[in-house]
Amino acid sequence: MKHQRIAILAAMLAAFGIAAIAVESGAQSSAGRKPRVAVLDFDYATVQSTSAAMFGNDVDVGKGISNLLVTDLVKSGSYSVIERSALDKVLAEQNFSNSNRADPTTAARIGKILGVDYIILGSITQFGNETNKQNVGGSGGNWHGFGVGGIGHSNSKANVVIDARVINIDTAEILAVAEGKGESSRSGLSLLGGGGNWNGFGNGIVDFGSSNFQNTIIGEATKKAVDQLTAELVTSAATLPVHTVKVDALIASVDSGQIVLNAGGRAGIKQGDQLSVVRVGREIKDPATGQVIRRLTSNIGTIQATDVDDVSAVCNVVSGAGFQVGDHAVTPGTSPGAGSPAAAPTGAPSAAITPQPQPTAGTSVPAGTPAAAATPADVASGQPDLTVVKAEFIPGDKVVFADDFSDMAGDEAPPHWKVRGGMAELRQGGGIRQLTIHGDDVYLTPNLSEVPPNFTLEGDIFFSEHWEYVYWSFADKKSSDVLSIKARRNYTNLMLDVKAKNGQEFESLAANSFPEDFSQPIKLQVWCQNGRIRVYINNNRVVDANQISLPPMNAPVADVGNANGTAYVGFRNIRIAESTPDFGKVIESSGRYVTHGILFDTDSDRIKPESSAVIQSIVRGLQASPDLKVEIDGHTDSTGNPQHNMDLSKRRAEAVKTVLVSQFNIDASRLTTAGFGSSKPVAQNTTPEGKAQNRRVEFVRK
């Protein structure tokens, strides 16, 4: 099955493309560059039993034949071929299991690192002998008309048939196919007999390029098949379009006029290349989608690569001055975003936490926005590049209320809310559980007596039609409103109105309108900390007011309204928590920092981009205390299999370490990891808020 998985990986690499470098198609003659290819191990599942019986062991004939093909293609001069050692190194650096590689996102990351134009996939359909005497002892038998033994044959004929497909990485289109057939026969010799001094294959390791193997009958047939396959692929090379590489690297270091980039040969940079250095001054976003549609840049100068390795390039200044870490080095005539560098391995230099100049304060990547071209950190760690995500909301640490409606039955009232004035029912489907509210002026109060002085509130709200609203109000101990956040859908815009009672005055903090995609839930986040109130819509900070004196407050009340009888408002994943001081202060005072703000994809160790703010606050604390060493501990709730949770928690802890090292250049020797699954709960696993408390990452001072 290993070889089938590899075939699946290659197909997905082709299907999802290579994002490490931007490419433009063109004829080979005009581009002046040979097609760059990677040859994956051939699939030999069809002939596995045949070859195992022949060699006395399971010899990876697919890898042997792919190695022969690589050698022949390199000798032909028609292709630029990734060496076997380089391919193995990349796969080893990623440390992916076979099942990981079959995952679309993982496959795409491998493709980014490879930086190839095409993948060559192959399979072996015949690999055995055809004899006039089927007297095969012990492990013999018959396999699709071919004997599987190599001993006792009076006349042996070896037959090898292989085929290959050249797949365009950008389109997944098969641009060329080739077939190779080889045959050889000897009288009185077995398949493994021949002119060479052969000592046997019993150890299961076969060098298909050695004279010992190629002088055997099966070796001769294999060589003929590979030679024919190579000839057909060479013929196809002239018709394959090649790609023009567009580099988009970041300056990682500036020292006495010498500049180091965070990309090298894997990104297409060669010694002698000149690159333009530009600085992003402003990003223009589509107001409807939040995606960056244009970057306004200024030219800083030109640099030339003088020393290039796989993942970095040392450059000298050709013209210009004032180069800074975080500036973009791009192919002349292009702009940032046209391409991006290939991956740096763990521990390689990375961009600063907040490259200068910084984007407009409060901007972020909206949830669900398609990622831009992958960055070095993304490729190296298998994680999103958290150095460029500007999400800044940090969820509170101690959860005081949480409800994902996982313990609510469809025919009952929500057990963790008091409902007045209308109806609230559970809707579910596709893994989503939503508290759906019908009616106008429906009041929902969470089962919570009060909120902490410093707190965060988060929730995903779905508006089915226009003019629906959710009005969160906080009252003091005398039941007088002191803080209100009202969100209303106005056709395609979200209207936000935030007010607070500051002393005796009830003042407006914001009254804004934003275009939003209402086919998806709207993420609302409120952060009250030391008299400062921040409100975020879909991870974008839209309100930031300070010097607000709020008294102790009761639990908030949600006033939900939808006058249309068919309309409804939906709640998903409501969470209220006590916010805490920053990482450095907590770890210094207590020796332990607990966070619920490092979020992961469901049943995965891939960190969500919105975790960026927490990660970067931890980075700042580690940088401020260079002697501090910590253990990163992963914890889960009790949902699911305990052993699976244990493994998941370990992988998540390791993922956090990998991001800190590969993306923020924290010394790996300062970090250790452990995973405890659900074995160390800090709350009961019988309620949503208890489970939310238990899903956490802890940093323990060592």
- 381, pLDDT greater than 60: no
Residues 266 and 306: their CA atoms lie apart, in Å, by 16
- 608, pLDDT greater than 70: yes
Q: Are residues 555 and 614 in the same domain?
A: no
**Alpha-carbon distance values, 184 to 150, 152, 153, 160 (Å):** 14, 17, 14, 9
Q: So what's the pLDDT on residue 435?
A: 94
In a domain, 381, yes or no: no
Q: Are residues 549 and 441 in the same domain?
A: yes
Q: Are residues 589 and 655 in the same domain?
A: yes
**170: pLDDT confidence band, cut at 50, 70 and 90?**
low
Tell me, rounded to whole angstroms, the distance of Cα 436 from its chain centroid: 33
Using DSSP bridges, classify how beta strands 671-675 and 630-635 pair: parallel, antiparallel or unpaired: parallel
Better-scored residue on pLDDT, 200 or 237: 237
- 207, pLDDT greater than 50: yes
Mean pLDDT over 603-612 rounds to 87
- 547, pLDDT greater than 70: yes
Better-scored residue on pLDDT, 533 or 563: 533
Using DSSP bridges, classify how beta strands 118-131 and 36-39 pair: parallel, antiparallel or unpaired: parallel
Highest-pLDDT range among 23-27, 79-83, 670-674 = 670-674
Please give the sequence-ordered ranges of beta strands (E in DSSP) within 21-154, or none if there are none: 25-26, 36-39, 80-81, 118-131, 142-143, 146-147
- Residue 145: exposed, middle, or buried by beta-carbon count in 10 A (0-12, 13-18, 19+)? exposed
Residues 633/591, Cβ–Cβ less than 8 Å: no
Tell me, rounded to whole angstroms, the distance of Cα 158 from its chain centroid: 46
Tell me, rounded to whole angstroms, the distance of Cα 118 from its chain centroid: 22
Local structure of 161: helix, strand or coil: strand
Residues 57/203, Cβ–Cβ less than 8 Å: yes
Q: Which of 348, 367, 386 is the last residue of a domain?
A: 367
Tokens 């960190």 correspond to 607
Average pLDDT, the chain: 77
Q: Are residues 7 and 72 in the same domain?
A: yes
- 327, pLDDT greater than 60: yes
Q: Which of 578, 596, 626 is the last residue of a domain?
A: 578
- 108, pLDDT greater than 60: no
- Residue 302: exposed, middle, or buried by beta-carbon count in 10 A (0-12, 13-18, 19+)? middle
Residues 585/495, Cβ–Cβ less than 8 Å: no
Q: Which residues contact 350 (CB under 8 A, 6 or more apart)?
A: 252, 262, 344, 376, 377, 387, 662, 663, 664, 665
Q: Which residues contact 160 (CB under 8 A, 6 or more apart)?
A: 124, 126, 127, 180, 181, 182, 183, 218, 221, 222, 224, 225
Using alpha carbons, select from 252, 243, 245, 218 the residue that is nearest to residue 64. 218
Give the domain CATH number at 86: 3.40.50.10610
Residues 20 and 33: their CA atoms lie apart, in Å, by 18
In a domain, 670, yes or no: yes
Q: Are residues 30 and 57 in the same domain?
A: yes
Give the domain CATH number at 498: 2.60.120.560
Cα radius of gyration (the chain):
31
Q: So what's the pLDDT on residue 376?
A: 39
In a domain, 195, yes or no: yes
Could you tell me the residue range of the domain that residue 28 belongs to?
Answer: 2-242
Element (H or E) spanning 30, and its range? helix 28-31
Q: So what's the pLDDT on residue 380?
A: 41
Helix orientation angle between 642-664 and 612-624, rounded to the nearest 10 degrees: 60
Token digits of residue 126: 């015949």
Q: Which residues contact 637 (CB under 8 A, 6 or more apart)?
A: 678, 681, 685, 690, 691, 692, 694, 695
- 151, pLDDT greater than 60: no
Q: Which of 199, 222, 242 is the last residue of a domain?
A: 242
What is the number of domains present in the chain?
4
In a domain, 486, yes or no: yes
Q: Are residues 404 and 516 in the same domain?
A: yes
In a domain, 689, yes or no: yes
- 192, pLDDT greater than 60: yes
Tokens 């260079």 correspond to 626
Q: So what's the pLDDT on residue 581?
A: 72
Residues 694 and 649: their CA atoms lie apart, in Å, by 11
Give the domain CATH number at 320: 2.40.10.410
Tell me, rounded to whole angstroms, the distance of Cα 498 from its chain centroid: 36
| Weakest-pLDDT range from 11-15, 180-184, 529-533, 682-686 | 11-15
In a domain, 391, yes or no: no
Mean pLDDT over 417-427 rounds to 92
Mean pLDDT over 631-644 rounds to 92
Element (H or E) spanning 537, and its range? strand 532-537
Residues 378 and 380: their CA atoms lie apart, in Å, by 6
Q: So what's the pLDDT on residue 193?
A: 61
Q: So what's the pLDDT on residue 123?
A: 87
Give the domain CATH number at 659: 3.30.1330.60
Residues 1/62, Cβ–Cβ less than 8 Å: no
Q: Are residues 572 and 603 in the same domain?
A: no
Q: Are residues 357 and 209 in the same domain?
A: no
Using alpha carbons, select from 654, 655, 651, 633 the residue that is nearest to residue 699. 633
Q: So what's the pLDDT on residue 109?
A: 54
Q: Count of CB atoms within 10 A of residue 178's CB?
A: 21
pLDDT, one tens digit per residue, over 220-267 is 889 999 999 999 998 888 777 766 667 888 898 888 778 999 888 777
Using alpha carbons, select from 579, 206, 144, 588 the residue that is nearest to residue 396. 579
Better-scored residue on pLDDT, 75 or 55: 75
Residues 496 and 424: their CA atoms lie apart, in Å, by 24
Using alpha carbons, select from 89, 122, 121, 91 the residue that is nearest to residue 106. 91
Length of the chain: 702
- At residue 206, φ and ψ (nearest 5 deg) are -130, 125
Using alpha carbons, select from 379, 327, 294, 317 the residue that is nearest to residue 19. 379
Q: Which residues contact 60 (CB under 8 A, 6 or more apart)?
A: 41, 44
Using alpha carbons, select from 26, 27, 33, 117 the residue that is nearest to residue 78. 33
pLDDT, one tens digit per residue, over 440-457 is 899 999 999 999 999 999
Q: So what's the pLDDT on residue 27?
A: 38
Highest-pLDDT range among 25-29, 196-200, 284-288, 461-465 = 461-465
- At residue 40, φ and ψ (nearest 5 deg) are -85, 155
Local structure of 69: helix, strand or coil: helix
Local structure of 50: helix, strand or coil: helix
Q: Which residues contact 172 (CB under 8 A, 6 or more apart)?
A: 11, 14, 15
In a domain, 333, yes or no: yes
Please give the sequence-ordered ranges of beta strands (E in DSSP) within 358-504, or none if there are none: 398-403, 417-420, 423-429, 432-438, 442-446, 450-451, 455-463, 469-475, 481-490, 493-502
- At residue 695, φ and ψ (nearest 5 deg) are -80, 105
Q: Are residues 212 and 64 in the same domain?
A: yes
**5: pLDDT confidence band, cut at 50, 70 and 90?**
very low
| Weakest-pLDDT range from 45-54, 303-312, 471-480, 691-700 | 45-54
In a domain, 376, yes or no: no
**329: pLDDT confidence band, cut at 50, 70 and 90?**
very high
| Weakest-pLDDT range from 129-133, 134-138, 386-390 | 134-138
Q: Are residues 434 and 295 in the same domain?
A: no
Q: Are residues 212 and 323 in the same domain?
A: no
Q: Are residues 13 and 105 in the same domain?
A: yes
